[in-house]
Chains A and B, each alone.
Chain A
Amino acid sequence: MSNIKSTNEFVIKFANVNGSGSASANQMFAKGVFRSGVPVSPKNIFPSNIQGLPTWFEVRVSEKGYLGRREGADIVVAMNPQSYNQDLMELNSGGYLLYDSSWKRDFKRTDINVIEIPLTKLCVEEFSNSKQRLLFKNIVYVGALSYLLNMEKEIYEILIKEQFKGKEKLIDPNVKALNLGYDYARENLKEICEIKIETSDKTKGMILTSGNDASGLGCVYGGATVCAWYPITPSTSLAEAFTDFSEKLRVEEETNKNKYAIIQAEDELAAVGMAIGANWNGARGFTATSGPGISLMSEFIGLAYFAEVPLVLFDIQRGGPSTGMPTRTQQSDVLSCAYASHGDTKHVLLIPSDPKECFEFAAEAFDLADRIQTPVIVLSDLDLGMNDWTCPEFKWDDTKLFDKGKVLHGKDLEEIENFGRYLDVDGDGIPYRTYPGAHPEKGAYFTRGTSHDEYAKYTEDGVVNARNLSRLLKKYQTASELVPNPIFKQETNTSSIGVIYYGSTEASMQEALDLLHEEGVILDAMRLRAFPFNLEVWEFIEDHDLLFIVEQNRDGQMRTLIMAEGGIIPDKLVSVLCFDGQPITADFISNKISSHLTGSPSKTAVGGK
């Protein structure tokens, strides 16, 4: 048997029992690697359960910056006898299995290294409190790993101190547990593990955070003041992040009063209604939800679209349909968001791919919603939203002002002869609006979801209604020029074959392209960042004979959207689809593309036009 030898490139998987307090220890492990200067991508794979079921925490460590999920683990920390068999199977040959040897076990694989640490015994000897005995097992294995991987133990001592700031009593026992593991490994497990962490500088200028935390912060920076939400995994942590950041950053010093209002609504219908009411009245309101919530909100989304009320929504997608896999990831709300609600409706979608973009798009969503006077849906997913990602740090330009769009205030109204709420004065399809209370005699209008003319008056005149619907289409055209551009991996296109992808798939894409490159397959790649699609998107599609569309859903929803919106012939667009609820991997993408290309020799895989 040959041991896996690697420095700064490996996957470690922790198998725990849900509710056993492992999450914070595992997170601490990942942060320690990040602090060593090596990029990490921890992923929490958890059940829809509070206590008792198996849960996993996978950490990909990659100095090369390959942060997508990778199949197979090089190290497994097996803390859950319930899942031993499965965990054992996922361990790569030559890998390392660390388990709690207080209860010895025979693992029936000869091609792996078994690392025995009597975690429970060590804790029972050292701690008297039964809760501590249980919790500290997790810290003990972190200590042991730091020795095994040749890391600086001090990094973890500092992390413990930071974590328990304000609860100083907890620092000593945690440090003790850390040392317990470290010392045990030093004394008993010398030179067993050939996977190492070597200090690097690849996390300089980087941060480790989740998409939901970043989005919550982005809402604070974007000037959101009203947040209405209803708890649903995986969006809950976004509203909670907004709450935490607001408490820290948005309390008026002199009065101790809040420059924000947050309501946990009675359901998603109420949540979105509140956000609409706030925006209608000139404040920036938003809601965060997941697929089931989007279904419930649809009627209101149509109202905001038709009555032209700005609205910001976050959809943190999870596995569907129906209640589906509430704790697994998917990109399966693309169509239901793009066309949410009955009648002819189309909505602006922003699709971030890492926490930095979550932050930026969150803030930008409010500007766009105000500018275009329409719902803007930020389409994230569970993987991006709930897991921590290594990404460039947040930036903000202090000279930037909020773009509140076309709003007429009292002074403006004084000078205007003819105010029509839905008049297309500028020819871009975007009319002017007023806030309630703007002026005693001018600017008041009746907002309605019924058909209306340019002056917001009810009309059943079909011609007038068709004119309004056409203007909305024009406005939608304008929107395509305002939303973020796609991102291209190449400066100029060099291949006749392209790949289109979006959102959290970014993490696996570079690696997939590199793998394909090794096989001699060169592809041009475009990451979509928004809907409606703009000219650059259509040009890229036009420029290639064959396009792969990589998605994390069953039906190729983005492909459908591209076909529907651009009249693109289906033959040209080949789906690469992962919908098992796990984040898509580079191997999956490259295998699918490569086998498609070799399976159809007429469409040559090698680039060059």
Chain B
Amino acid sequence: MTYIVKPKNHHPDLEKNELGLTRRDYEGSISSLCAGCGHDSISAAILEACFELSLSAHNIAKLSGIGCSSKAPAYFLNQSHGFNSVHGRMPSVATGANLANHEMLYLGISGDGDTASIGIGQFIHAARRQLNVVYVVENNGTYGLTKGQFSATNDLESKSKYGEDNLFPSIDLAAMAIQLEASFVARSFSGDKEQLVPLLKAAMKHKGFSFLDIISPCVAFNNHGTSTKSYDYIREHNESVSKPDFVPLGKEITTSYEEGQSVQVPLHDGSLISLEKLSKDFDPSNKASSLTKINKAEEKGKVLTGLLYINTESKDLKETLNVVDKPLNQLSEKDLCPGAEKLQAINKDLC
């Protein structure tokens, strides 16, 4: 059954999207995160992306693990079902949910502890299976919820708030995702809404594993002068590969670019992500080029952001498993139960 979303009565001046909904219709509960936490900005960007894309919130499911970041789904999209599962295991829950009904949009929200440590196995396998999910890591280089231990994405040269050295090198989740054949890989910064919102929109329209590593400073435990995941550090060291613009289906590209200055990548529903190139030697459809670029930026002490890799050709998990188009959770006895006659034939085979 399909429903028309009925807009609530809001202030008449509030901007409305194609569904007649305002941003307020996409809100969640009041956040209980620390004031200034990067995660709240990401929630706002997700809200904005859903609003601008005129998505029906009830056709979105929000899934997460455990952590401050994993709490965030409670703070946007109140009309979406949410599932705050167990630490590091969001990918498996998202896999099962997706197999049950491939027609919904799945937003997986995780943290760097949740994904790069306890959940790294599930992350890897969801990526290589090309699960159709928007997988967001709200990366603050620390375990926020358990009060500031180093996470596996914390850089070697970074120090803790209390002056301790980080002894181990960091895991670059974006580079890893590219190696795993994730078909959409981006990095962004919670403080850069202009870059983040179009990337999120494109990720939501992309079919397959859409991975976003979003640097999201933890003001309580990892925003000090010797941290490489602080607001100041990221603002200073951010190197963007391109300026993304999301172009909805049927809309024209309005900005004019000089020759060779932009690329347009068509997404699965016909919309486009248009990338104004800020770097000439970079081709986001080429794995090797992306990985080299990431490495080079790292050598220079820069954090490379933007759409790092995209492949619109790959099959998602549902296609690979050759699953029927009607969602599995809508199949009835008639579709699923072979019945007494077939059972009698099976009995025959067994005697």
Check if B322 is an interface residue, CB within 8 A of chain A: yes
Q: Which residues of B contact A272 (CB under 8 A)?
A: 92
B323 and A270 form a contact (CB under 8 A): no
User: In the bound complex, what is the Cα–Cα distance between A272 and B85 (angstroms)?
Assistant: 12
Interface residues of B in 296-351 (CB under 8 A from A): 318, 321-325, 327-329, 331-333, 335-340, 342-343, 346-347, 350-351
User: In the bound complex, what is the Cα–Cα distance between A265 and B343 (angstroms)?
Assistant: 30
Interface residues of A in 255-308 (CB under 8 A from B): 255-263, 265-267, 269-283, 285, 299-300, 303
Check if B61 is an interface residue, CB within 8 A of chain A: yes
B82 and A395 form a contact (CB under 8 A): no
A281 and B101 form a contact (CB under 8 A): yes
Shortest beta-carbon distance from B338 to chain A in Å: 4
Which of A70-78, A96-104, A435-443, A583-591 is the contact stretch? Answer: A435-443
Q: Which residues of A contact B338 (CB under 8 A)?
A: 220-221, 249-250
Q: Which residues of A contact B125 (CB under 8 A)?
A: 265-266, 270
The A/B interface has a contact count, at CB < 8 Å, of 239
Contact A226 B96, CB 8 Å, known A261-B328, A393-B350, A444-B78: yes
User: In the bound complex, what is the Cα–Cα distance between A303 and B89 (angstroms)?
Assistant: 11
Shortest beta-carbon distance from B18 to chain A in Å: 15
For the side of the interface on A, what is the size category? 35 or more
User: In the bound complex, what is the Cα–Cα distance between A438 and B93 (angstroms)?
Assistant: 19
B97 and A252 form a contact (CB under 8 A): no
Check if B147 is an interface residue, CB within 8 A of chain A: no
Which of A56-64, A141-149, A204-212, A231-239 is the contact stretch? Answer: A204-212
Check if B274 is an interface residue, CB within 8 A of chain A: no
User: In the bound complex, what is the Cα–Cα distance between A260 and B100 (angstroms)?
Assistant: 9
Check if A450 is an interface residue, CB within 8 A of chain B: yes
Q: Which residues of B contact A118 (CB under 8 A)?
A: none
User: In the bound complex, what is the Cα–Cα distance between A54 and B129 (angstroms)?
Assistant: 40
Shortest beta-carbon distance from B282 to chain A in Å: 33
B83 and A280 form a contact (CB under 8 A): yes
Interface residues of A in 434-491 (CB under 8 A from B): 434-441, 444-450, 458
Check if B104 is an interface residue, CB within 8 A of chain A: yes
Interface residues of A in 59-107 (CB under 8 A from B): none
Shortest beta-carbon distance from B302 to chain A in Å: 33
Contact A274 B95, CB 8 Å, known A226-B328, A258-B321: yes
Check if B166 is an interface residue, CB within 8 A of chain A: no
Which of B1-9, B186-194, B245-253, B254-262 is the contact stretch? Answer: B1-9
Contact A223 B95, CB 8 Å, known A270-B121, A273-B122, A448-B84: no
Counting chain B CB atoms within 10 Å of each CB, the highest count among A273, A281, A449 belongs to A281
Check if B86 is an interface residue, CB within 8 A of chain A: yes
Q: Which residues of B contact A34 (CB under 8 A)?
A: 351
Q: Which residues of B contact A436 (CB under 8 A)?
A: 58, 61, 80-81, 97, 101, 104
Interface string of B92-123 (1 = CB under 8 A from A): 11111111110110000000000000000110
User: In the bound complex, what is the Cα–Cα distance between A448 and B346 (angstroms)?
Assistant: 42
Contact A252 B324, CB 8 Å, known A281-B100, A394-B347: yes
Check if A228 is an interface residue, CB within 8 A of chain B: yes
Check if B56 is an interface residue, CB within 8 A of chain A: yes
Check if B74 is an interface residue, CB within 8 A of chain A: yes
Which of the residues A222, A258, A271, A303 comes within 8 Å of B85, measured between beta carbons?
A303
Q: Which residues of A contact B103 (CB under 8 A)?
A: 437
User: In the bound complex, what is the Cα–Cα distance between A31 and B328 (angstroms)?
Assistant: 38
Q: Which residues of B contact A217 (CB under 8 A)?
A: 346
User: In the bound complex, what is the Cα–Cα distance between A439 and B78 (angstroms)?
Assistant: 12
Taking A35-B351, A269-B89, A402-B337 as known contacts, 5 extra A-B pairs with beta carbons closer than 8 A to each other, sorted by chain A number, are A207-B351, A223-B331, A249-B342, A398-B340, A440-B6
Q: What are the 6 A-B residue pairs with the smallest beta carbon separation, nearest first?
A: A277-B96, A273-B92, A283-B100, A281-B100, A282-B329, A436-B81
14 contacts between A and B (CB under 8 A): A252-B324, A259-B335, A263-B321, A266-B124, A270-B92, A270-B122, A277-B93, A277-B97, A280-B93, A299-B86, A436-B58, A444-B79, A448-B83, A449-B86
Interface residues of B (CB under 8 A from A): 1, 3-6, 56-59, 61, 63, 73-74, 78-86, 89, 91-101, 103-104, 121-122, 124-125, 129, 318, 321-325, 327-329, 331-333, 335-340, 342-343, 346-347, 350-351
